[in-house]
C-alpha cells in the first residue's frame, strides 16, 4: 500500500473534489479503496461456492476470479470509488392476512438504472477533469464484490446478516463502484464491526438461511427463492414474501438509524407496499408489465411472480426449508401443493 506521504501532489485534493462531486450527484456515502486483489474475500467467496451456497447462480462461480481481481475489470486499475445510496422510505411491512410482501428495495425504480446513471455522471466529471483516466462502472450485475469494496472504502461493515451496514442509514443502501486507472487517496480508517454479540438476524431468519455469522446460504434464502430461482415451485415456505425478503434487516438494531431517502425515484409506486394476494393473483401478463415496468420486480418475470404468489398464499412447505426440498414433481400427484403450482402455469 502506498503511504499517504508518497502520493503525488494534488491527489488528496482531487480525491476530495471527486467525493464532493459524488455527494452532489446524490450519493449518500462515498469512499475510496486501493484497487488491490481481494485476497481474504476471495477465500471466503471460494469457500462459499465450494459449499454450494450460490444455489443455481452458476454465474457467481463462472465469474469468481474477475470478482476478486480488479485489474481484470479495468486494466491498470488503481483506485475504486465505492458509493452507497440510501433507499429507505417510511412505509413498513405488515403481516395482515391476505396482504403480500414485496421487499422494500423493489418498491420504486430499479436501482441498477439509478446508480448507473449517477456513476456515469461521476465518470464524465472525472474524464472532464482528467482526460487520461479510464473507468469501469459496477452496480450489482457486474462481476465485482460490491460489499467488499464498500467495506474497504470505509462506508460501513459487513453485518452478520450478510449486508453492509452504515452508521447513518443502517443497511438500507444500494452499493456500486467506479474503478479508475488513476491514483486517488484511499481511506485509512475503516468502520469497525458493530454487530458485537447480537444475533437477532440469525434468530429471526424464517428459513435459517444465515448458516453462520456473515454467511448466507442462498439455497435457504427467501430472497433467492423468490427472485433468482428459476424452479417451477418454490424451494421453501416463503412466509408471505412474493419478491425478496427484508426480515433480517428489519430486525437489525442498526435499522433504527434509517432515514427516508432523498432520491425521488425510490418512492414506492402505487400498489407496491401492501398489495393483496387477490389483486396480484388476478394480474394478466399485460397488467404485470404495466405495473412493474422499470422496477426490480420484472426480474422474477410474470411466471415467477405468479409462482411466488401461489406459494406464499398457500404456505407451500417442502418438508422444511433447505436445499433438498422436493419440487412439485416429487409431491404426490394431485396434492394440494401440486394443484396450486399447476394453477399458475
Residues near ligand B12, by CB under 6 A: 41, 44-45, 48, 57, 60, 103, 105, 139-140, 144-148, 158, 161-164, 171, 173-176, 214-216, 218, 221, 223-224, 228, 244-246, 248
Q: Mutual orientation of helices 285-292 and 301-314 as an angle, nearest 10°?
A: 100
Considering the complex, what minimum distance in angstroms separates the CB of residue 292 from ligand SF4? 20
Q: CB neighbours (10 Å) of residue 299?
A: 16
Distances in Å between the Cα of 132 and the Cα atoms of 11, 120, 183 are 15, 16, 12
Q: What is the largest CA-CA distance in the chain?
A: 74
Which CB sits closer to ligand B12, 196 or 333? 196
Q: x/- string (CB under 6 A) for ligand SF4, residues 183-212? A: ------------x--xxxx---x-x-xx--
Residue 107 interacts with ligand SF4 (CB under 6 A): yes or no: no
Residue 248 interacts with ligand SF4 (CB under 6 A): yes or no: yes
Q: x/- string (CB under 6 A) for ligand SF4, residues 150-189? A: ---------xxx----------------------------
- Residue 91 C-alpha cell reads as 412505509
Virtual CA dihedral for 64, 67, 70, 71, nearest 10 degrees? 30
User: In 3D, which of 211, 249, 250, 229 has the Cα closest to residue 318?
Assistant: 229
Residue 254 interacts with ligand SF4 (CB under 6 A): yes or no: yes
Respond yes or no: is residue 181 known to be catalytic: no
Which CB sits closer to ligand B12, 29 or 331? 29
In the set 124, 140, 217, 237, the catalytic residue is 140
SS3 content of the chain, % helix, strand, coil (to 5): 40, 15, 45
Considering the complex, what minimum distance in angstroms separates the CB of residue 101 from ligand SF4? 11
Q: Write the DSSP assignment of 127-186 as a string of letters.
A: HHH-TT--EEEESSSSSS-HHHHHHHTTS-EE-TTSSEEBTTTBT-EEEEEEEESS----
Give the binding site for ligand SF4 (CB under 6 A): 159-161, 195, 198-201, 205, 207, 209-210, 216, 221-223, 245, 247-248, 251-254
Amino acid at each position: 500500500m502506498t503511504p499517504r506521504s508518497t502520493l503525488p501532489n494534488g491527489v488528496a485534493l482531487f480525491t476530495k473534489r471527486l467525493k464532493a462531486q459524488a455527494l452532489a450527484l446524490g450519493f449518500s456515502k462515498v469512499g475510496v479503496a486501493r484497487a488491490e486483489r481481494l485476497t481474504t474475500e476471495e477465500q471466503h467467496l471460494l469457500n462459499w461456492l465450494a459449499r454450494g451456497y450460490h444455489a443455481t447462480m452458476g454465474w457467481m462461480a463462472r465469474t469468481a476470479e474477475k470478482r476478486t481481481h480488479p485489474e481484470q475489470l479495468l486494466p491498470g486499475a488503481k483506485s475504486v470509488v465505492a458509493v452507497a445510496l440510501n433507499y429507505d422510505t417510511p412505509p413498513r411491512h405488515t403481516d395482515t392476512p391476505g396482504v403480500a410482501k414485496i421487499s422494500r428495495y423493489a418498491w420504486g425504480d430499479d436501482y441498477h438504472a439509478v446508480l448507473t446513471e449517477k456513476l456515469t455522471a461521476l465518470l464524465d466529471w472525472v474524464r472532464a477533469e482528467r482526460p487520461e483516466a479510464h473507468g469501469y462502472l459496477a452496480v450489482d450485475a457486474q462481476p465485482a464484490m460490491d460489499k467488499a469494496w464498500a467495506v474497504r472504502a470505509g462506508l460501513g461493515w459487513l453485518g452478520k446478516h450478510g449486508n453492509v451496514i452504515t452508521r447513518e442509514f443502517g443497511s438500507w443502501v444500494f452499493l456500486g463502484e467506479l474503478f479508475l486507472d488513476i491514483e486517488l487517496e484511499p481511506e485509512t480508517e475503516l468502520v469497525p464491526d458493530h454487530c458485537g454479540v447480537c444475533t437477532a438476524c440469525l434468530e429471526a431468519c424464517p428459513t435459517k438461511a444465515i448458516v453462520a455469522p456473515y454467511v448466507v446460504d442462498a439455497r435457504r434464502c427467501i430472497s433467492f427463492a423468490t427472485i433468482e430461482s428459476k424452479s417451477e415451485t418454490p424451494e421453501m415456505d416463503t412466509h408471505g414474501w412474493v419478491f425478496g425478503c427484508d426480515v433480517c434487516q428489519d430486525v437489525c438494531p442498526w435499522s433504527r438509524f434509517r432515514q427516508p431517502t432523498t432520491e425521488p425515484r425510490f418512492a414506492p409506486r402505487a400498489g407496491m407496499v401492501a398489495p393483496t394476494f387477490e389483486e396480484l393473483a388476478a394480474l394478466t401478463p399485460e397488467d404485470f408489465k404495466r405495473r412493474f415496468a422499470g422496477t426490480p420486480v420484472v426480474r422474477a418475470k410474470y411466471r415467477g411472480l405468479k409462482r411466488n404468489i401461489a406459494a406464499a398464499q398457500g404456505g407451500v412447505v417442502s418438508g422444511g426449508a433447505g436445499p433438498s426440498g422436493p419440487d412439485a414433481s416429487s409431491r404426490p400427484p394431485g396434492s394440494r401443493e401440486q394443484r396450486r403450482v399447476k394453477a399458475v402455469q
